[in-house]
Amino acid sequence: MADRDDTAAAGDLGPVTTLATPIRLDFEFTPGVAQSRFLRGLERGRFIGQRCPKCGMVYVPSRGSCPTDGVPTTEDVELANVGTVTTYCVVNVPFAGQSIEIPYICAQVLLDGANISFMGLIQEIPADQIRMGMRVEAVWVDPDRLTPSLASVRYFRPNGEPDADYESFKEYL
């Protein structure tokens, strides 16, 4: 029987060790009330945070709640275009889909007036010159290319101010 020969041949190939089952899922993102304010701010070239009515902390972007107190944050706060590098890393590893030339700097930036840092790309400085406390400013895309997305911020760059004192940002590391 031909079938039996086929089965024997398949058995000789050994165990299957890999099975590819491609998966793709699409989602519609709902940013919510607070994050919509932040995203609409980006569309206007502004950083909009929110203040906790209880502890006074300013979050950017706000998710609508103070993560410490669990109460709604309803007061919008416009933040400065400048901030301080609290910590950073230098990316030297190439990976698929990389759009920036290595080495490049990925930093946590604490905007003036905010009580939480967020991640930003640092450019216009050699990677080996980045340091904690460096003062930086946001560089935005051209006004006609602003969208409700962090892609509206091209990157941060040193703004020439003297470094911030460690004491001023040590609580945000």
> In the bound complex, what is the minimum distance in angstroms from residue 128's beta carbon to other proteins?
32
Cα 7 to Cα 2, 13, 16, 17, 124, distances in angstroms: 9, 10, 14, 18, 64
Q: Which two tokens stand for residue 73?
A: 């944050």
Site for other proteins, rule CB under 8 A: 19, 21, 23, 25-35, 63-72
Kindly state the smallest distance separating residue 71's Cβ from other proteins, in Å.
7
147 contacts: CB under 8 Å, gap ≥ 6: 42, 43
Q: Which amino acid is at 14?
A: G
DSSP-derived pairing of the beta strands 82-91 and 135-140: antiparallel
What is the Cα 8 distance to its own chain's centre?
A: 55
b/e map of 135-155 (b: 16 or more CB within 10 Å)?
bbbbebeeeeebebeeebbeb
Shortest Å distance, C-beta 66 to other proteins: 6
Q: Which is nearer to other proteins, 56 or 67 (CB)?
A: 67
Q: Which is nearer to other proteins, 68 or 98 (CB)?
A: 68
Please, what is the minimum distance in Å from the beta carbon of residue 19 to other proteins? 6
Nearer to other proteins, 36 or 123 (CB): 36
Nearer to other proteins, 37 or 154 (CB): 37
Which residue, 8 or 23, has its beta carbon nearer to other proteins? 23
CB of 54 to other proteins, least distance (A): 9
Distance CA 38, CA 144 (A): 19
